Chains A and B, each alone.
Chain A
Amino acid sequence: MFGLDQKDTKFLWIVVALTLLTPFILNPFPAESAMAQFNAGYPALMQRFAIYGILAIGFNLLFGLTGYLSFGHAAFLGIGSYAAVWMFKLVSMNVIPAILLAMVLSGLFALVIGYISLRRSGIYFSILTLAFAQMSYNLAYSVFTPITNGETGLQLSLSDPRILDAENTSGSLPVPNLWINMNASWDLHLGPWTFTLNAGYYLCAVIAIIAFYLSMRIFRSPFGLMLRAIKSNQTRMAYTGLNTKPYTLAVFVISGMYAGLAGGLLAAMDPLAGAERMQWTASGEVVLMTILGGAGTLMGPVLGAGFIKYCENIFSKINEGILHDWFSFLPDPIENVVVWIGARFVGDGWQLTLGVLFMLIVIFLPGGLVEGGKRIAKRWSKKTDTTTTPAE
């Protein structure tokens, strides 16, 4: 179905089901229970899962398939956000024109940046993209303040024209909508559980599914095969008389548009845009998500994005008091030591956890979570197989 073989169709359906049921899956604990703080099923976080999932899928198309490590992807995210907010300010609070402009604009930027950067490969490509991203970041803070509103960030205001919308007489800032407001939520009470179904999340989820489907098609297409060939041996491709540039440029632009789409959605969920989204540490985060999940795999980047955003949220919430509660079964001196060490990694220390995680993954599990899962599955099947197949 949809131009996929049977196995992929099944895979796609699983992804669709998981995405649509996310509000239920991520809320395994009853709302009043002590474990409720580990629930991730609230709209703001779920939206971020979907949006950063899209970003990581797009990044993975470039890095996973061609091996070109871009360190400037956050720039497209930022450009997308700015474009979307401007559409909200000038044209309409409907999200569709905003997202379209975000994609088109970031695609154009990707075309220019990619055209120049892709003349080099390897570390030079990384540095060129980094240079472009830093340039956009610095300019957004300085010369382009009329467009970007500098450090304050670009926000909606009551005096915005919004030529397509009816005049806003409510006296409060309008909310992005797609006929229904993006922050409209519906609480579903089932026994002790509460599930929040949010319009914004479902918009992001549907777009994320489409994005995932497209990336699947690209992975399975001759175009995707060509990109993988470029990754494994670019020189040989050149010797066989093939110009690799159009292929890499095409995937760079696609990847940039994915990032722009993610930026546009971020703005649609919360209509403000700041330059810090373009900083190179933000680019590093995208790289981490992809690596953590598993670069070059379909599902990996999404898992990585979800994992990081979940940890970021949960780890930042935990504080020393909660840790004391957890480890209260230990003898006091040990408890204090454990809590002291633990406290360095939670709350403010989330960045430290991120750094350590980054290192551990790159050192021990270069293939990311997906590879880890495969290894475990392999070991598992080996254990069960030993009875049937003789040792080699």
Chain B
Amino acid sequence: MCMRNGWLALLLVAAAAAGDDGPGLGMPVPGAALEALDFTVLPDGTGLPPGEGSASTGAVLYRQHCLACHGENGSGGANDRLAGGQGSLDGPAPVKTVGSYWPYATTLFDYLRRAMPYNAPGSLSNDQIYALTAYLLALNGIVDDAAVINRDSLPAVRMPNRDNFDRAWPEE
């Protein structure tokens, strides 16, 4: 780790030298504009907006927006299976779903807000995305059906497969 940081420090020095040659034409960005651009949610919950949603609300939204591609109860269809598969990863036919494979629950909010529903990304409110997140976690038995998901509860959800990943790139 020390060596890696040392290496990074060297690169930073090299970059500083290169930067001397840059014309310095970047334009400052106002804080509000930055906020509007920032869709990233980190595993510790940084980036999660206010709002909340329950699994029961999410179940209704799922039927409207997700079921056509992802099947009844997240069983899969034209597109990815989202539920089940727990216990299959070390067997002959691993089934990778949100519940069996995904290491972080925050990834659900991050991805749903960016990209779903496929034909109308950006059409769901933050409350609706929290509700769908809650529903998908409940479908996989990770939270109970009454759970409410928000910026505080989501990063606290521990995914079942979380500890089964090994980093080939060690840097934190």
Do A and B truly interact? no
